[in-house]
Amino acid sequence: MRVVSLVPSLTEAVARTVPGALIGATDWCSHPAGLDVVRVGGTKNPKTDRILSLGPDLVVANEEENRAGDLDVLRTAGVEVLVTEVRTVPQALTELERVLTACGASARPRWLDEAAAAWADPPASERRATAVVPIWRRPWMVLGRDTFAGDVLARLGVDHLYAAHADRYPKVPVDELRAARPDLVVLPDEPYRFTADDGPEAFPGLPCPLVDGRYLTWYGPSLAEAPRVLAAALRAAHR
């Protein structure tokens, strides 16, 4: 099986579970460290000609991260494309198993069992908190409805305030975000790289936990550690 992955978290999952199957990945596929495969561009602008030149048996993609037009080009050229949809933690676990089976995994990997166990009983929070979760700046954008990261946070006791918004990633002026009076402002380091010097200063007086985006937004081997790591960061900020 020759596989090209257009999703960083799926790249990590396939590389760890089916060694040797992966022949191509995006420029943003940073895990596992030292991954030695052909790079095929970004998630939003893959080089379809380069992908086709690799002769893949399968391309794995995601309906949110990748553009339908690029996937259609690959299908038209005769390449099988598996497209995932991940909006919740249970859906992530199911889709991961589907992808790994399609990529030739002979058995369900141990890390996937560990992830399922970790999320079956995530760390309990002492009290629920409200939050806004920026994912971009200039303009400010936040988590809205029906997102995987929103479901992750809800399972850890954090309800983000734009979960019922009509858009999945609405643009919201920072004054409005402050006026929403959240308990927390959760700042991940991807897709926008919020840091201690870039983000918290926009929300004076509000706790602003900085979290690793891989644990908040990736669905792969990091799922096994995500509940513990995220819960610790959130708990430290919301005392």
Residue 231's alpha-carbon distances to 18, 97, 211, 235, in angstroms, are 30, 25, 10, 6
What confidence tens digit (pLDDT) does each residue in 113-167 have?
999 999 999 987 778 999 999 999 999 999 999 999 999 999 999 999 999 999 9
For residue 126, the model assigns a pLDDT of 77
Q: Which residues pair with 82 in a beta bridge?
A: 60
Q: pLDDT category, 6, cuts 50, 70, 90?
A: very high
The predicted structure's pLDDT at residue 239 = 65
Tokens coding 146:
């029906």
pLDDT above 80 (res 35): yes
Instruction: Give residues with Cβ within 8 angstroms of 66, minimum separation 6.
Output: 6, 7, 43, 44, 46, 83
Amino acid 124: pLDDT = 75
Query: pLDDT digit string (tens) for 174-228?
Result: 999 999 999 999 999 999 999 999 999 999 999 999 999 999 999 999 999 999 9
* pLDDT > 80? residue 42: yes
Residue 236 confidence (pLDDT) above 90: no
Distance CA 33, CA 11 (A): 11
- State the residue for tokens 């971009």: 136
Given a contact cutoff of 8 angstroms between Cβ atoms, the answer to whether 91 and 85 are in contact is yes
pLDDT of residue 186: 97
The pLDDT tens digits of the residues spanning 57-111 come to 999 999 999 999 999 999 999 999 999 999 999 999 999 999 999 999 999 999 9
Q: How far apart are CA 65 and CA 61, in angstroms?
A: 8
pLDDT recorded at residue 52: 97
Cis preceding-peptide flag for 134 (omega within 30 of 0):
no
DSSP secondary structure letter of residue 180: T
For the segment 43-58, the average pLDDT, to the nearest whole number, is 96
